[in-house]
Amino acid sequence: MTGNIAATDVEAPTVAHPVGEKRRAHLWWKYALGVVALIWALFPLVFIVSAALNPSGTLSTTDLLPKDISLSNFTELFELRPYWAWYKNTLIICGVGAFASVFIGAAAAYTFSRMRFRGRRAGLMTLLLAQMFPVMLAFVAIYLTFDFLGDALPAIGLNTQAGLILAYLGGAMGANVWLLKGYFDTVPRELDEAAKVDGAGHARIFFTMILRLVLPILATVGMLSFVGLFSEFLLASIFLKDSENQTLAVGLWSLLKADRNKYFGPFCAGAILASVPVMALYFSVQRFLVGGLTAGSVK
Q: Could you say which residues in the range 37-56 bind another protein, by CB under 8 A?
A: 37-38, 40-42, 44-45, 47-48
CA–CA dist 27, 8 (Å, integer): 24
Amino acid at position 286, single letter: Q
Binding mask 71-100 for another protein (x = CB under 8 A): ------------------------------
Helix (H/G/I), strand (E/B), else coil: 108:
helix
At 262, the amino acid letter reads K
Nearer to another protein, 26 or 190 (CB): 26
Q: Which is nearer to another protein, 82 or 185 (CB)?
A: 185
| 138 touches 213 (CB < 8 A) | no
Integer Cα distance of 34 and 56 in angstroms: 34
Give the one residue of 69, 191, 201, 242 binding another protein; rule: CB under 8 A.
Answer: 201
Contact of 174 with 127, CB cutoff 8 Å: yes
Q: Is 166 in the site for another protein (CB under 8 A)?
A: yes
**208 forms part of the interface with another protein (CB under 8 A):** no
Examine residue 167 and tell whether it contacts another protein (CB under 8 A). yes
Q: Are 149 and 162 in contact (CB under 8 A)?
A: no
Asked if residue 135 binds another protein (CB under 8 A), the reply is yes
At how many degrees (to 10) do helices 264-297 and 248-258 cross? Answer: 140
From 3, 68, 117, 197, residue interacting with another protein (rule: CB under 8 A): 117
Query: CA 237 to CA 258: how far, in whole Å?
Result: 16
Q: Least distance in Å: CB of 179 to another protein?
A: 10
Site string for another protein, 215-244 (x = CB under 8 A): ------------x--xxxxx---x------
